[in-house]
Amino acid sequence: MADGNDTKSSNQMWGGRFASGPAAIMEEINASIGFDKKLYAQDIRGSMAHAAMLAEKGIISHEDKDKITEGLNTILSEIQNGTFEFSRKLEDIHMNIEARLANLIGPAAGRLHTARSRNDQVALDFRLWVKEELQKTEAMLTDLIAAFLDRAEQHADTVMPGFTHLQTAQPVTFGHHCMAYVEMFGRDRARVRHAIEHLDESPIGAAALAGTGYPIDRHMTAKALGFREPTRNSIDTVSDRDFALEFLSIASICATHLSRLAEEIVIWSTPQFGFIRLSDAFSTGSSIMPQKKNPDAAELVRAKTGRINGSLVALLTVMKGLPLAYSKDMQEDKEQVFDAAESLELAIAAMTGMIRDLEVRTDKMRAAAGSGYSTATDLADWLVREAGLPFRDAHHATGHAVALAEKKGCDLADLSLEELQAINPAITNGIFDVLSVEASVASRTSFGGTAPSEVRKQIAWWRARN
């Protein structure tokens, strides 16, 4: 996409400066219609708003505006019905639509491009598309958060092991674990909302790079197109792709969160863990092993992160060396965004479905919650709180208790009072009140902790805001 005049062919588009049309290889590298036709609705919407403004300001006649609007509506129907013929010779979506408009309404079509350039036109189309995609992402994240809130509410009391280094650390509740993802995807949604606010400025009217001498009203077109206001610098307007980079950055962070979740689903669904069972809708079998039930949907969500991250790096690399204002390099911005958007939508939808459909095996979680001496920290805390030991001494004594339990092949709660008192005589029967996993999680009542009472408070807070 680059600036050009009214056209019916590539050579005519470039005008008298060029004596012959482009070679086949130039046509191949120059054409973007194969992917930018996705912007047809935004292009037509922008053209209608531009024509209405031109007529309102007396730059074109209302009669021409009406013809243009009618012709654009016809083209919109043709594209939606699949009867529109896209031409690579016309390079991009803008020229394809403009050429068809000329066929439909004649000379009036040539007046549509008054006071604008393909540079601000593509900036507008792309910005509108990304804004709509961000709004769609916001809604999908809201659904995913709702799915987690439902799960957290169902399992606010369900104990499971909490991990660090993928080793059993302390007991937590599954509800608390679900709420960790609510926080992650909540931040993703906040980033989406900020991105919408950042890009909510209309590029149309910046023209090629310097604005225009026509008495246009950019505030009118901004309002008509649903933007907060017009952009404030014409050079930056046509050369800015921050909004696309921000979308890809958000997509990469969100995909990373989805990938971490997918990894946990893969691990939890193994027979070795058995914490969850995925529904048949999100699993596949093996071609030779009839017992297998593979978490393919989760694995593919995990893999999509690589594509999305690659798109971000690709566009950062395209943009990093471009002088102001527009350069043809920027034609390479859209495929990355389109691909990342499709991948992210699919990943969020798949994950929302998996969270709603999966079966939580509370018995397996409970059994695992007490393994690996997960209440050792509770023993150390009790020694500090009840026996007055410095934490480092309590930590040392607890280490001895763990070693003894390990040697005997039992849990901490199965050690006798005498055995524990041999480690530290200050230990009393009260120690057994904190060595169960239920007592452990119930005691973690600090703000944001895993206690069921605290988990329910956080669920209520999020429900009021989701």
Query: How far is 249 from 191, CA to CA, in rounded Å?
Result: 10
Q: Are 78 and 37 in contact (CB under 8 A)?
A: no
- Residue 440 catalytic? no
CB 336 within 8 A of CB 311: yes
Is the Cα dihedral 206, 211, 216, 217 positive or negative? positive
Distance from chain centroid for Cα 293: 28
Q: Which of 9, 286, 371, 453 is catalytic?
A: 286
Sequence length of the chain is 466
> Which parts of 128-260 are beta strand (E)?
159-164, 167-173, 201-202, 229-230
- Return the closest-CA partner of residue 462 out of 249, 259, 182: 182
CB 40 within 8 A of CB 97: yes
Q: 339: Cβ–Cβ under 8 A, 6 or more apart, which residues?
A: 307, 311
Q: Cα separation of 45 and 51, whole Å?
A: 10
Catalytic residue among 20, 165, 416, 446: 165
CB 48 within 8 A of CB 40: no
Six-digit token pair at 222? 């901004």
Which of 91, 88, 109, 133 has its CA nearest to residue 44? 109
Closest CA to 377 of 168, 170, 163, 160: 170
> Buried (b) or exposed (e) across 103-116, using 16+ Cβ within 10 A?
ebbeebbbbbbbbb
Q: Tell me if 83 sits within 8 A of 100, measured CB to CB.
A: no
Q: Does residue 286 carry a catalytic annotation?
A: yes
Catalytic residues: 165, 286
